[in-house]
Structure 1
Amino acid sequence: MTAKHNLHTAALIPPHLAPEDVISALHDHNTCLTLQALTTGHKKLPSTAPETSKDTYWYPPDIHPITTYSVTECITVLPGVGEWGKKYLTFPSCFQETPTGLKTRADTSGVVLRAEFRVIKGGADDGEVDGEGEGVGYAEWVLVEDVEVQCAWYMMPFVKGKMEAAHRDICRKVIEKVIMEKRQDAIVKTAAKAKGRSDSPREERQADALPEKITYQ
């Protein structure tokens, strides 16, 4: 018997960020691959499994191509005993860029997890399982993630806990990453401008020292 569980999370996009900034970050697959709490490594695969490509969850793959990675996650099965209590899993994880964000699907050991990120206009940042919590804010643009995990019913309590731990803060982390990169770009540009201004007087002095006309004897 198969069981399903859904998780809905959201994060407000600050007004100084454009929705395109967040969508662009999602289209850089390294963003989600490196922000997942359980992920320890990944590498791009040459193709996607045919049965995965046929999933009706996807947008038409001929219009929106699917990219697949081999992802390794570290799961703590028995806390408190260090490496002895950890299990490493390697599985395919697929990414499809969409006009509003990103669709993903991961398959591992009988577990299928589908997650869609969307930048939507206006909404509350509830950040609660199944969207049952009260909103705690409002913004013109919001990043939301809807996750569905499917597995055998007896595995669900364990899978649910690990899935929520990995995905609950992803939206917030994506926004924070975009903000940090914007700040770093601004610092680099400011430093470049300052260097340009400091170099200008030196260049002017060097230009003044050159003779106006060179006469060859």
Structure 2
Amino acid sequence: MSAKHYLHVAASIPGHLPSSSIIAALHDHNTALTLQALTCGHEKAPTTSPATLKDTYWYPPDQYPITTYNVTESITLFPGIGEYGRKYITFPSCFQNTKQGIKTRADAPGGVTVRAEFRVVQGGADGEIEGEGMGVGDAEWVLVEDVEVTCAWWLMPFVKGKMETAHQDVCRKVVEKVEMMRRQEAVASTSPKAKEGKGRGEGGEDIRTGFADMQREQYGKPGVVVYGEAHRDLQGVVEVDAMESQRVEMPAPLPDKITYR
């Protein structure tokens, strides 16, 4: 006889983060794969099991493709003795991108199946997560995860604990990761390299080329003179250095007669 257990987790999305940025992070499957507490490695599988594709849990796979990864988790069986008390298991974990986030299904050894759906939903007084507590329901947007685990009834006490350990903080970590990435992008945009565009026109175009030169040609304005570079004027392109080299230095004229007094 099998048993089922459900877990619902929610994390508020700060007002300065667009909901689309959270969905984009979920569509990068590395986000969810690396933020789970038990996962220690993964690699993309070449195919997805036909039996898994038939699961009615999915949206139509022809419209929403499914990607499978071989995931390795570290399970602690006997605490306090380090690696000797750990067991490593590898199993397929499938991901499907949706409009609101992702759907996942993992088939672990022992007949354990975990289905988890991440969704970005609207919060507020009438929101779907009303009553979650800790101010989550007051947020404009919320990231929620609904998990369902199925296994043999006698395995459930052990599986339930491990599943909750793996999933209880994923929503919060996803939001924190996106926030950190946007903060890093903001810092990078203020770096000296990002400021090298000073003295350039719109779109980073050098003022000596493009639109500026077109204006000079149209209105007969002289171009910018830069020694060692080509100078553009209405007569064409002339090397300034070449003009300098063609000058002939003439001695200063002397008087015809010198008179001493």
RMSD: 2.4
Q: Structure 1's 190 and 11: CA in aligned 2 closer, same or farther, altered over 3 A?
A: same
**Deviation, structure 1 residue 190:** 1.4
Q: Structure 1's 188 and 198: CA in aligned 2 closer, same or farther, altered over 3 A?
A: farther
Distance 1:133 1:7 in 2: 15
Q: Which residue of 2 aligns with 1:121?
A: 122
Pairwise mapping of residues 14-53 of structure 1 onto structure 2 (< 5 A)? 14-53=14-53
The AA in structure 2 aligned to 1:175 is V
Pairwise mapping of residues 39-78 of structure 1 onto structure 2 (< 5 A)? 39-78=39-78
SS of residue matched to 1:104: strand
**Deviation, structure 1 residue 187:** 1.2
In the superposition, the TM-score normalised over structure 2's length comes to 0.74
Distance 2:133 2:102 in 1: 24
The AA in structure 2 aligned to 1:30 is N
**Deviation, structure 1 residue 210:** 1.2
The AA in structure 1 aligned to 2:154 is Y
SS of residue matched to 1:102: strand
**Deviation, structure 1 residue 122:** 1.3
Q: Check the 8 A contact 2:10/2:132 in 1, yes or no.
A: no
Q: Which residue of 2 aligns with 1:127?
A: none
Distance 1:20 1:41 in 2: 27
Q: Check the 8 A contact 1:5/1:150 in 2, yes or no.
A: yes
Q: Structure 1's 164 and 182: CA in aligned 2 closer, same or farther, altered over 3 A?
A: same
**Deviation, structure 1 residue 132:** 11
The AA in structure 2 aligned to 1:118 is R
Q: Which residue of 2 aligns with 1:176?
A: 176
Q: Which residue of 1 aligns with 2:194?
A: 193
Q: Check the 8 A contact 1:123/1:142 in 2, yes or no.
A: no
Q: Which residue of 2 aligns with 1:210?
A: 227
Distance 2:81 2:24 in 1: 40
SS of residue matched to 2:4: strand
**Deviation, structure 1 residue 194:** 3.1
Number of matched pairs: 207
Give identity over the alignment, percent.
63
Distance 1:132 1:162 in 2: 27
Q: Which residue of 1 aligns with 2:153?
A: 153
Residue ranges of structure 2 left out of the alignment (5+ in a row): 201-205, 208-223, 232-237, 247-261
Q: Check the 8 A contact 2:31/2:174 in 1, yes or no.
A: yes
Distance 2:120 2:152 in 1: 32
Question: Which structure has more RCO (C-alpha within 8 Å, separation ≥ 6)?
Answer: 1
Question: Per residue, is there more strand in 1 or in 2?
Answer: 1
Residue ranges of structure 1 left out of the alignment (5+ in a row): 125-130
Distance 2:64 2:142 in 1: 23
**Deviation, structure 1 residue 196:** 3.8
Distance 1:154 1:49 in 2: 27
